[in-house]
Structure 1
Amino acid sequence: MRVAINLLTDDPEHPSGAHWFWTRVIPEMAQRLDPGEELHLLVSPRTASMHQGYGSSVHHLMFPWSNEHPRLRTLSEHAWAPLSLRPAGIDVFSTLIAPLVKPAPGLVAHFKTMHAFTAPRSIRPEVRLYRRLSYPRTARVADAIIINSESLRQEVERHLDVDPAKLRLIPEAVDHELFRPGDPEHARDRLRMRHGVTRPFVLFVSSLWPYKNCEGLLRAFAVAQGAITGRQLVIVGPGRDQDYVSSLRALAEELGISDDVVWVGGVPLEDTVDFYRAADVFVYPSFNETFGLPILEAMACACPVVTSDRSAMPETAGGAALLADPDDPRSIADAIVSACGEDGELARKLGPERAGQFTWGVTAEHTLAVYREVHAQRASL
């Protein structure tokens, strides 16, 4: 069995969550390949170096462009994939969006979000239109569709005409070598020197899209300040829309909390560990998530978590987080105050146990099983 995995959505300058997913899953799958099984990774000259050292059964299929040129990348996926995958003897193609011509006997789609439908403002208009047109066709031609939560299953079934029998639920996981409890004081010292975090703090980690609800967190922090005096609010994550980031900073000024907010910006994934270890509470008040991996990252570091009571977040938290209504800053504020008290101590104990249920080895094993299932089905026709 030869499986080709489409990694062309990698942007070498701005690695996405999908990139981090595959860099964890591919080496785990490589360790589990049977004799005669191979993985072939679709990469470009700019991204090939991002996927090295996976073992002798993992190979590169070179394409001219990746996501540093989104339109050319999209064109090459549709035009080049059918011409290159069949001569390479690919049995199963794993991708987000199916090319216009099916390039291999089996096709597995990985749907990670339905944001083109549920959070359209987070996606550029041309990308949103492309996905809205492509997802229904992909759902029709795919032999199996991997999803990461029951919440996403509901969204897929709501927005697409899809055969429910095609859906395979495989949760994502935590890198437990990276995200684990550590010395909070050491972490605070590092943050003080590197980022100017000088006091106990409430933490937010996410790209700054409107649906992530940083606005609601700012309002909640202003409400909670009287009960959690002396704390800062630390915002970690890149600003994808500078106008929106400017509006958040203006809101902090309006609320009178700007002196207590630290805007860190984007940091490497490895650096977020210090923030989780040092924070009094991690707050993730998003309006919509199909999994919510930062919830588990924080839990794995023994950081109390406050998150939303909707979409996939309660499912991912599994009873180890405090839940709040993301539409109600008072609800978020009350949860933050609780997490900074005795409830936070309980969450510190429950979180690592919950996060420990999610490993990349299990995710890889189940993903590989879907590829084998699709290959066997096609081989029997």
Structure 2
Amino acid sequence: MRIAQLANFVGPTSGGIRTTLAALGEGYVAAGVARLLVVPGPEDRYLETASGDVVQLRAPRVGGGYRLLVEPWRAIEPLRRFGPTSVEVSDKSTLLPVTRWARRSGVPSVLLSHERLDAMLSLRTGLPVPTTAWNRAVLRRHDRVVVTSRYARDELRALAAATGTPLHRVPLGVDLATFHPRRGPDRSAGPLRLVHAGRLSREKSPHLAVATAVALHRRGVPVQLDVYGDGPHRSELETLAEDAPVTFHGHLAGRERLAERLARADVSLSVCPGETFGLSVLEALACGTPVVTADEGGGRELVDGACGAWAPASPDRLADAVLEVAARDMDLRRRAARRRAEEYPWSRAVEGMLEVHDLALSGAPAPAAPARWRAPAGDRRPA
């Protein structure tokens, strides 16, 4: 099996996509699969890594440090040289030329659907956005589609049945070694410590997390919210916080450092109602930190009654949920959080994705066996 992974609109703070690509890629290689990763970057570059070769294609910045491959057909030549048995695409729009090439070449394509378009666009614009026609076209252009939660599946289930596109649910995972509980100072005294980690853009609902902390502060609850992440709406959030004890730390380099900060908190706020999975939810739980989330969205599926709570997406209702969690025995809630995260190792996600690729390959004509991928002479660089 030879899997080529492709992603677009990737930046230094696009943690979810980067984390997923890295974890799945490492798992593929460990399972004996040849893997090629194609991503946008500041220049054309070919890298050899322990988890497969990487092709970085020159792409302009489009805001927030993100890069967008505006010439997606340039990804086709590296794919031809690699000779994949299947391609895994983490994009619903800009990489369609790749899936057209794959279909003409008899190579199955698997779409790893990272977001619900209807929820993402509605959260970003504040208006309902019809996405049925686009989703139907996307489904028809891929041989199989993977969603990561029941919430994500609900958007596509009827359309997938109508187009005859197989739809699979494969939950993602968490790095249980990096994200783990840590012994910290006595937290029985002092303010209730809250944490929010994620990109500060409207579709991630950081405004709701900050407003929840403000609601608690207005009630006279001693509270401290630490926000880790950056994005285009940081100034709005700082204004929203007003005099409430909310500290914006910006993007935190290094996952170990983020894990330390998550483990210090009493409750993590991952409240986006349009999140299709919730890697940030799992990372907090793995650190032994209970999570309060919205009562809809993929994050809700990760939180049970022992490791956190959920409420409608309003600051006052979420504030109530925070106080309910904070009133529980600290040791019990921390152990429950860790146990819940341990149900989602990355190894299980890798197994699920490999099964999908195998199913896709079983229904496709056998491709010619290629030589091992080689970059053009003079372009190969070590990672």
Q: TM-score range by the shorter chain?
A: 0.7 to 0.9
Q: 1:285 to 1:59 in 2, by over 3 A?
A: closer
Instruction: Specify the alignment match of 1:59 in structure 2.
Output: 53
Answer yes or no: is 1:301 the counterpart of 2:303. Answer: no
Query: Quick one: which of 304, 310, 313 aligns to 1:326?
Result: 313
Instruction: Specify the alignment match of 1:252 in structure 2.
Output: 241
Query: Quick one: which of 352, 355, 371 aligns to 2:341?
Result: 355
Structure 1: which amino acid aligns with 2:303?
A
Residue 38 of structure 2 contacts residue 57 of structure 2 at CA under 8 Å; is this kept in 1?
Answer: no
Summarize deviations over 1:343-365 as a string: whole Å, max 9, x none.
Answer: 65432121111100101111112
Query: Quick one: which of 263, 267, 282 aligns to 2:252?
Result: 267
Structure 2: which amino acid aligns with 1:322?
A
Residue 8 of structure 2 contacts residue 67 of structure 2 at CA under 8 Å; is this kept in 1?
Answer: no
Alignment of 1:39-118 (within 5 A): 39-43=35-39, 46=42, 52-54=48-50, 58-60=52-54, 62=55, 64-66=57-59, 68=61, 73-75=69-71, 77=72, 79-95=73-89, 96-97=91-92, 98-100=95-97, 101-103=100-102, 104-105=105-106, 106-115=108-117, 117-118=118-119
Secondary structure of the corresponding residue to residue 331 of structure 1: helix
Residue 2 of structure 1 contacts residue 92 of structure 1 at CA under 8 Å; is this kept in 2?
Answer: yes
Secondary structure of the corresponding residue to residue 184 of structure 1: coil
% same residue: 21
Q: 1:38 to 1:339 in 2, by over 3 A?
A: same
Structure 2: which amino acid aligns with 1:365?
E
| Aligned mates of 1:368, 1:237 — CA distance in 2 | 32
Secondary structure of the corresponding residue to residue 379 of structure 1: coil
Greater share of residues in strand: 2
Structure 1: which amino acid aligns with 2:229?
G
Question: How far off its partner does 1:297 sit?
Answer: 0.9
Question: How far off its partner does 1:4 sit?
Answer: 1.5
Query: Quick one: which of 198, 202, 208 aligns to 2:200?
Result: 208
Answer yes or no: is 1:177 the counterpart of 2:173. Answer: no
Secondary structure of the corresponding residue to residue 74 of structure 1: coil
| Aligned mates of 2:2, 2:212 — CA distance in 1 | 51
| Aligned mates of 2:329, 2:311 — CA distance in 1 | 14
Summarize deviations over 1:2-34 as a string: whole Å, max 9, x none.
Answer: 2221145433x444421111111111111112x
Question: How far off its partner does 1:232 sit?
Answer: 1.4
Residue 6 of structure 2 contacts residue 37 of structure 2 at CA under 8 Å; is this kept in 1?
Answer: yes
Q: How many residues align?
A: 349
Structure 2: which amino acid aligns with 1:93?
V
Q: Which runs of 5+ in 1 are unaligned?
A: 189-197
Alignment of 1:227-242 (within 5 A): 229-238=221-230, 240-241=231-232
Instruction: Specify the alignment match of 2:378 in structure 1.
Output: none
Instruction: Specify the alignment match of 1:192 in structure 2.
Output: none
Secondary structure of the corresponding residue to residue 101 of structure 2: coil
Alignment of 1:277-316 (within 5 A): 277-316=263-302
Greater share of residues in helix: 1
Instruction: Specify the alignment match of 2:375 in structure 1.
Output: none
| Aligned mates of 2:349, 2:44 — CA distance in 1 | 23
Instruction: Specify the alignment match of 1:194 in structure 2.
Output: none
TM, length-normalised to structure 2: 0.79
Q: 1:179 to 1:216 in 2, by over 3 A?
A: same
Residue 143 of structure 2 contacts residue 165 of structure 2 at CA under 8 Å; is this kept in 1?
Answer: no
Secondary structure of the corresponding residue to residue 263 of structure 1: strand
Structure 2: which amino acid aligns with 1:210?
R
| Aligned mates of 1:226, 1:72 — CA distance in 2 | 42
Q: 1:139 to 1:67 in 2, by over 3 A?
A: farther
Residue 198 of structure 2 contacts residue 228 of structure 2 at CA under 8 Å; is this kept in 1?
Answer: yes
Structure 2: which amino acid aligns with 1:172?
L
Summarize deviations over 1:197-238 as a string: whole Å, max 9, x none.
Answer: x96521111212224333333333233237774431212211
Question: How far off its partner does 1:138 sit?
Answer: 2.8
Q: 1:344 to 1:338 in 2, by over 3 A?
A: farther
Q: 1:15 to 1:309 in 2, by over 3 A?
A: closer
Q: Which runs of 5+ in 2 are unaligned?
A: 368-383
Instruction: Specify the alignment match of 1:193 in structure 2.
Output: none
Q: 1:295 to 1:228 in 2, by over 3 A?
A: farther
Secondary structure of the corresponding residue to residue 336 of structure 2: helix
Query: Quick one: which of 216, 228, 233 aligns to 1:224?
Result: 216
Residue 81 of structure 1 contacts residue 99 of structure 1 at CA under 8 Å; is this kept in 2?
Answer: no
Q: 1:114 to 1:295 in 2, by over 3 A?
A: same
| Aligned mates of 2:41, 2:318 — CA distance in 1 | 46
Secondary structure of the corresponding residue to residue 225 of structure 1: helix
Residue 136 of structure 1 contacts residue 161 of structure 1 at CA under 8 Å; is this kept in 2?
Answer: no
Answer yes or no: is 1:166 the counterpart of 2:166. Answer: yes
